Structure formats: C-alpha cells, structure tokens
C-alpha cells in the first residue's frame, strides 16, 4: 500500500477517538466460557480509557482489545523491567501492556510463580480481584529458547487459563523446536484456549513462519530495538513494509496485524511506523524509566543520561557471553545494550574469561557499573520519568498531531 493510504489510515485512527462515546456493556464469563475469552468486554468503564466509535468498524486490535485507543501503543514484556503495575497502567491509558513470563517452564518454575503474582497485582489494580472469570486486559510475554519449553502446555497454559490475560506474546524459539513442530503446537494450544497470539520476529522468513504457525499479531522488530532480537536484522523502515507486503501477498484474508518495534519512543516514531504499514507500535526503552517499572535506579539514571543512541549502544551476542546468559540465546539472536565497561574492555582485547571475572567481582562487591542495561537506539530521546499512563497518552496525542500535520503537506 502507498504512503497516502497509510496516512489516511492514521487519520482514521484519530477520527475513531473523536467521535461519539460508546457505552460499553460488561459481562462476566461463566465457567463454561473459560476458553472463549477473545471478544468479551473486560472491565468497568471507570478503570479504562474512554472508548469511542463511529459507523465504520474498528480495526482488529480495537475489537480484540476493547480498551485500546488508536494508534495502539504496546509496552514490551521486558524481563526484569516490566511488571503487572506497568502493564496495568499502559492498558488503563488505552494501550496494551504486557507482563514478562520468563523462559523457565519446568514444573515449580520460580518465573511462572512470579508471573502469577504479577497477574494478580494487575487484576487488583483493575479492581477485578473478585471477578476472576473476567478477562484481564493485559498480555503476557514468553521467551521460548529454553529446553523446558517442552513443559509449556502442562505448566504455562493452565496458569494463563487461571488468570485470563487477553494475549500471549512469544519470542525466540530454539530452531530445533521450530523444526520439530513444538512451537506450532504451542500456538495452536494457545489459540484453542482463546488467547490472541503475538509473535515477535526480526526478518521476513520468521514472519512467514509465525504466520504459518497461526500468529494473530506479528511484531516486526527492527535492529534499533533494545534487548534481545534477531542477530541479522534490518531497521523498521525496510522491515515493516516488506513484512506487510509478504503477508498481503501470501496470507490474504487472514487479517494478521503487524506492530512495529525498534527505536520508537515518541509520537514521531509512531506516525512513521503507521506510514510504513504497521497498525500498532511497541515501545520498550521509553518505559524503562516509568515509575511503575522494576528498573534498577542505576539503570534509570544511565538511560536518562545517555545521548546519541546509535554510538552509545552496541548490538552483539558478546553481551550475553559477558553476563553469563548465552545459553539462553541460541545463534539466531543477539542483543542491544548501552555501552559500559565490560564492552569497552572487550574492545580493548581483554580475554572473555578475565572480563567475566571482573563482572563477577564487581557484582559481589556491590558495584553496579559493570551490569548490563538493555536499551535501543532511541534511548537518547528518553528523558522524562513520567507515569506509564501519561507516556501512552502523550505519545498517542503527539502521533495524532504529527499525522494531522502530514495531511497539510499534500
């Protein structure tokens, strides 16, 4: 689709949020409805951003997630930073917040136990603690690279059914689990349980694979993103249009939604992503300094102080080697982080074993300067530590204003 059409789509997003108010009816699912949670209204109007409608139908995201306002802003399920409070704040403001579920799916997993606690927190913040059958308007994100993925259906899915988040985000399957069909079976099991399935990808081939496996939403993550991603990737300027074109050509009629991720931290980035063909955006780095996030204080300070995000961050699998997590990230993946002393030592030629020892000694001594801070190239624009809900509203309104301005150029 041409850029004129995508600008019109962006303008339509604005119009949806300016029209007549809609009174949302709310209903509670009965136990027999437990596996049909996709399209149920979700919570009390007082707890949510106001929803509006006009005679034209909403896009799929608004239908799946009735609390959302366009353009839809999604908070990434950042392990170690995102949590139930952050996700709830994002969703209450008309976005879609995600809680990280980790990568350990073994019976008795501490990560799954922590996820249950965060989902309970989110439900309490929505005022739904006594309405356990009402779908919770947040999502959950999982990393699929761990060998314990074989237990997903016996451990993770029952937990999700108990807590009823609306969507499940999947990322980084080990190649052998893709080939074996395990990932496809997990997607099918999630969809059979009524969840919207989100799949994070970093190239056209992985987007195609996700579509074949049944993904409802594909997050096209560009190389500017912070944290873990595909090692061989492109920026969203070329990635998003090619993914969108592939889906239109090969999966016509499926209506798979594309969300753009990577380097987006403000309304300008959102407007650009919409023009590229995305229907929503994902932000991670911008939410690192939100007061609701679990980000450590030294990391918040580092994010705010960092400028010129390109040369101030580095994208490499060496980060995982230096911090002892390489086993969790097979060869297709690497990560982008703010440059710190371990990376500088690596560039100076300090042997890996010696570098790791220095990291361990510093950590034992309480020195945080050698710990990794994952962040994208947009970090230089992240300066205001405001509540997550305010961030969502500010970015959405700025995107709308940018789209209106673009309309005056034609």
Answer positive or negative: Cα dihedral of 80, 82, 86, 88: negative
Q: How many CA atoms lie within 13 A of 158 on its CB side?
A: 7
Paired with 198 in beta bridges are: 169, 217
Instruction: Retrieve residue 206's tokens.
Output: 């992985």
228 has catalytic annotation? yes
Which residue bears the tokens 């980000």?
295
Q: Name the catalytic one among 146, 163, 177, 228.
A: 228
Cis amide leading into 71 (omega within 30): yes
Structure-derived torsion over alpha carbons of residues 231, 232, 237, 240, reported in degrees to the nearest 10: -90
Which residues are CB-neighbours of 209 under 8 A, at least 6 positions away? 178, 201
Which residues are CB-neighbours of 246 under 8 A, at least 6 positions away? 204, 207, 208
How many residues in the chain? 410
Instruction: Retrieve residue 30's tokens.
Output: 């009965």
Which residues are CB-neighbours of 229 under 8 A, at least 6 positions away? 202, 221, 223, 262, 315, 333, 334, 335, 336
Active site residues: 228
């Amino acid at each position: 689709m041409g850029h004129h059409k995508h600008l019109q789509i962006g303008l339509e997003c604005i119009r949806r949020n300016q029209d007549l108010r809609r009174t949302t009816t709310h209903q509670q699912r009965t136990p027999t409805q437990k596996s049909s949670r996709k399209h149920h209204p979700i919570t009390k109007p007082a707890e949510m951003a106001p929803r509006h409608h006009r005679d034209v139908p909403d896009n799929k995201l608004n239908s799946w997630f009735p609390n959302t306002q366009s353009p839809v802003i999604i908070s990434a399920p950042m392990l170690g930073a995102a949590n139930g409070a952050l996700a709830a704040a994002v969703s209450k403001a008309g976005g879609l917040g995600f809680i990280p579920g980790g990568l350990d799916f073994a019976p008795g997993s501490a990560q799954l136990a922590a996820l249950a606690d965060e989902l309970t927190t989110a439900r309490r913040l929505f005022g739904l603690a006594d309405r356990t059958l009402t779908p919770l308007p947040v999502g959950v994100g999982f990393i699929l690279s761990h060998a314990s993925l074989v237990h997903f259906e016996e451990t993770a899915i029952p937990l999700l059914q108990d807590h009823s988040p609306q969507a499940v985000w999947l990322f980084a399957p080990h190649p052998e689990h893709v080939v074996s069909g395990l990932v496809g079976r997990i997607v099918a099991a999630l969809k059979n349980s009524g969840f919207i399935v989100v799949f994070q990808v970093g190239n056209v081939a992985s987007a195609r694979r996700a579509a074949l496996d049944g993904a409802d939403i594909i997050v096209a993550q560009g190389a500017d993103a912070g944290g873990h991603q595909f090692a061989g990737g492109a920026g969203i300027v070329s990635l998003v249009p090619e993914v969108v074109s592939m889906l239109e050509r090969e999966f016509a009629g499926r209506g798979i939604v594309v969300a753009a991720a990577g380097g987006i931290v403000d309304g300008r980035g959102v407007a650009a992503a919409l023009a590229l063909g995305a229907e929503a955006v994902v932000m991670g780095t911008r939410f690192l300094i939100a007061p609701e996030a679990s980000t450590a204080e030294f990391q918040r300070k580092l994010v705010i102080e960092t400028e010129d995000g390109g040369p101030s961050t580095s994208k490499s699998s060496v980060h995982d080697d230096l911090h002892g997590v390489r086993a969790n990230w097979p060869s297709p993946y690497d990560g982008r982080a703010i440059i710190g002393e371990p990376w500088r030592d690596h560039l100076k030629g300090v042997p890996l074993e010696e570098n790791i020892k220095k990291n361990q000694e510093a950590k034992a001594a309480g020195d945080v300067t050698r710990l990794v801070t994952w962040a994208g190239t947009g970090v230089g624009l992240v300066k205001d530590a405001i509540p997550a809900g305010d961030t969502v509203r500010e970015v959405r309104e700025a995107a709308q204003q940018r789209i209106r301005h673009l309309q005056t150029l034609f």
